[in-house]
Amino acid sequence: LQYTFPEDFWWGSATSATQIEGAASEDGKGLNIWDYWYSKEPNRFFNGVGPETTSDFYHTYKEDIQRMKDIGHNSFRFSISWARLIPGGEGDVNEEAAAFYHRVIDELLAQDIEPFANLFHFDMPLEMQEKGGWESREVVDAYAVFAEKCFELFGEKVQKWFTFNEPIVPVEGGYLYDFHYPNVVDFKRAVQVAYHTIIAHAKAVEVFKKRSIPNGKIGTILNLTPSYPRSQNPADLRASRIADLFFNRSFLDPMVKGEFPEELTAILREHGQLPEMLEGDKELVKRNTAELLGVNYYQPRRVKAKEHLPNPYGPFMLDWYFDLYEMPGRKMNPYRGWEIYEKGVYDIMINLRDNYGNIESFISENGMGVQDEERFMENGQIQDDYRIDFIREHLKWLHRAIQEGCNAKGYHLWSFMDNWSWMNAYKNRYGFFSVNIETQERTPKKSAGWITEVSKNNGF
Ligand code: BGP
């Protein structure tokens, strides 16, 4: 073996409730913003397929967990749907929902697969959104109660917990760029949402620590997009640094270091965009940092200095400070259109090692979305050699980071099986298993065979 990973390396994959469970109106589940939005505006989305059925994991979890075992998983991330567990977001636990998550967790444990439980993956209960969503402090408190319920119900079985998946995405999608409900475009409100998410994280961590779950660890999952300047000239460097502040350090610093980056605070203050803060918040954030960090990495951000000055009378927006550009010669995923830059994994890990106390971390998502993947079907199997290359090249850089002292503990692919996605349903396929959405039949792709060997050998 040329690349051997540390003992007990976490091999697995990631999913989220809304994207795989289906059964969106079964057994007393409440509505979340996705159920609601799809029913209201089906034409807005690719082929109008909503989250009603998705990959039917609610009913197929047992066989799916067997498949995880078959391909060598020793860990698996899922999320607990707030609207399923506590319909409406506040009040009594839905016993059927609790029983479902117990069954999933028990099955994972029976197969020796460590459950990684995430508490929020873009799926705000509708009633909580109607109260203002993350703009409302009341919703932050309701989330902390939900988190506590989850620790109480499942804490004896689950040791690894995550407060959020990609908390910046609801900010960008819901409050800046109009690709998530509630479709607000307002920088100041976006800042409030981001701020409250950080407070919610800190409150959940605080509650978690009070319970002291044996061997329990709580962390969060961030999508980190390393920022690369076009050149070393000062204007490009500054633009890149500010993009990094907005997109990465905005959450990384408070959630991992317990501090808000001063330069970012100064920019917000200068433009009158600071959020409302309560007394004691700073200390709350300071004492409740993540103990474990999941890194979702898909693509880098290529940044250059602004070419045209923004309209100073227009509303303040992120892009007052930088432009993005397409780097000539970059490698692209031809089947979906995102840049592929494997070394990004290494750069992220080195940054965590040097600037974030070498926090225990892992790649919690990385993956290659492919449109019309059936075209690669041969002899009844999708021959996804491109995905094997993709994973292998990222793993090589992760391996190198570990060799150089980074505290990286695992690699999870997005995703275990093809799943439903927020804006484009089943257009981009990501799984080790393909899913026939008419019959719900699962078929291992070529990459499933490859990862089985890699996980078994703990390397390649
Ligand atoms: C991440 C999300 C996932 C997943 C993935 C793929 O940002 O955490 O939920 O969907 O991206 O992106 P997409 O589904 O848009 O192709």
Tens-digit pLDDT profile for residues 328-347: 999 999 999 899 999 999 99
Residue 50 — very low, low, confident or very high, per pLDDT cuts 50/70/90?
Answer: very high
Q: Is 419 in the pocket of ligand 1 (CB under 6 A)?
A: no
pLDDT of residue 456: 98
SS (H, E, C) the chain: CCCECCCCCEEEEECCHHHHCCCCCCCCCCCEHHHHHHHHCHHHCHHHCCCCCCCCHHHHHHHHHHHHHHCCCCEEEEECCHHHHCCCCCCCCCHHHHHHHHHHHHHHHHCCCEEEEECCCCCCEHHHHHCCHHHCHHHHHHHHHHHHHHHHHHCCCCCEEEEEECCHHHHHHHHCCCCCCCCCCCHHHHHHHHHHHHHHHHHHHHHHHHHCCCCCEEEEEEECCCEEECCCCHHHHHHHHHHHHHHHHHHHHHHHHCCCCHHHHHHHHHCCCCCCCCCCHHHHHHHCCCCEEEEECCCCEEEECCCCCCCCCCCCCHHHCCEECCCCCCCECCCCCCECCCHHHHHHHHHHHHHCCCCCEEEEECCCCEECHHHHEECCEECCHHHHHHHHHHHHHHHHHHHCCCCEEEEEECCCECCCECCCECCEECCCEEECCCCCCEEECHHHHHHHHHHHHCEC
- Global pTM? 0.98
Q: Is 223 in the pocket of ligand 1 (CB under 6 A)?
A: yes
CB contact at 8 A, 307 and 373 = no
Question: Does the pLDDT value for residue 45 go beyond 90?
Answer: no
Ligand 1 centroid from CA 235, angstroms: 32
Ligand 1 centroid from CA 296, angstroms: 9
pLDDT of residue 178: 95
The predicted-structure confidence for 139-175, as pLDDT tens digits, reads as follows 999 999 999 999 999 999 999 999 999 999 999 999 9
Ligand 1 centroid from CA 442, angstroms: 20
Please give the angle made by the CA atoms of 69, 160 and 360, to the nearest 5 degrees.
Answer: 105
Question: Does the pLDDT value for residue 229 go beyond 90?
Answer: yes
The predicted-structure confidence for 9-31, as pLDDT tens digits, reads as follows 999 999 999 999 999 999 999 99
The predicted-structure confidence for 367-411, as pLDDT tens digits, reads as follows 999 999 999 999 999 999 999 999 999 999 999 999 999 999 999
**Average pLDDT value for residue range 84-105:** 98
pLDDT of residue 384: 98
pLDDT of residue 205: 98
Nearest CA to ligand 1 atom 15: 421
**Average pLDDT value for residue range 220-225:** 98
**Average pLDDT value for residue range 236-244:** 98
Best residue among 78, 79, 120, 365 to mutate for probing ligand 1, ranked by most atoms within 8 Å of CB: 365
pLDDT of residue 46: 84
Q: Is 16 in the pocket of ligand 1 (CB under 6 A)?
A: yes
Q: Is 125 in the pocket of ligand 1 (CB under 6 A)?
A: no
**Peptide bond preceding 42 in cis form (omega within 30 of 0):** no
Q: Distance between CA atoms of 201 and 221, rounded to whole angstroms?
A: 11
Ligand 1 centroid from CA 73, angstroms: 21
Residue 212 — very low, low, confident or very high, per pLDDT cuts 50/70/90?
Answer: confident
Q: Is 414 in the pocket of ligand 1 (CB under 6 A)?
A: yes
Which atom of ligand 1 is least distant from the CA of 122? 9
Question: Does the pLDDT value for residue 47 go beyond 90?
Answer: no
Ligand 1 centroid from CA 211, angstroms: 32
Kind of pairing, strands 442-444 and 433-435? antiparallel
Let me know if 365 is a catalytic residue: yes
Considering the chain, what is the average pLDDT of its residues?
Answer: 97
Question: Does the pLDDT value for residue 366 go beyond 90?
Answer: yes
Ligand 1 centroid from CA 421, angstroms: 7
Q: Which residue has the tokens 């980074």?
A: 406
Name the catalytic one among 365, 373, 393, 441.
365
pLDDT of residue 227: 98
Higher pLDDT, 293 or 308: 293
Q: Is 428 in the pocket of ligand 1 (CB under 6 A)?
A: yes
Question: Does the pLDDT value for residue 319 go beyond 90?
Answer: no
Nearest CA to ligand 1 atom 10: 421
Is the CA virtual torsion 339, 340, 342, 345 positive or negative?
positive
pLDDT of residue 105: 99
Lowest average pLDDT, out of 124-138, 274-288, 310-324, 444-458, goes to: 310-324
Ligand 1 centroid from CA 415, angstroms: 9
Question: Does the pLDDT value for residue 312 go beyond 90?
Answer: no
Q: Is 288 in the pocket of ligand 1 (CB under 6 A)?
A: no
pLDDT of residue 417: 98
Q: Is 420 in the pocket of ligand 1 (CB under 6 A)?
A: no
Residue 452 — very low, low, confident or very high, per pLDDT cuts 50/70/90?
Answer: very high
Q: Is 81 in the pocket of ligand 1 (CB under 6 A)?
A: no
The predicted-structure confidence for 58-82, as pLDDT tens digits, reads as follows 999 999 999 999 999 999 999 999 9
**Average pLDDT value for residue range 242-256:** 98
Domain ranges of the chain: 10-457
**Could you tell me which CATH number the domain at 10-457 has?**
3.20.20.80
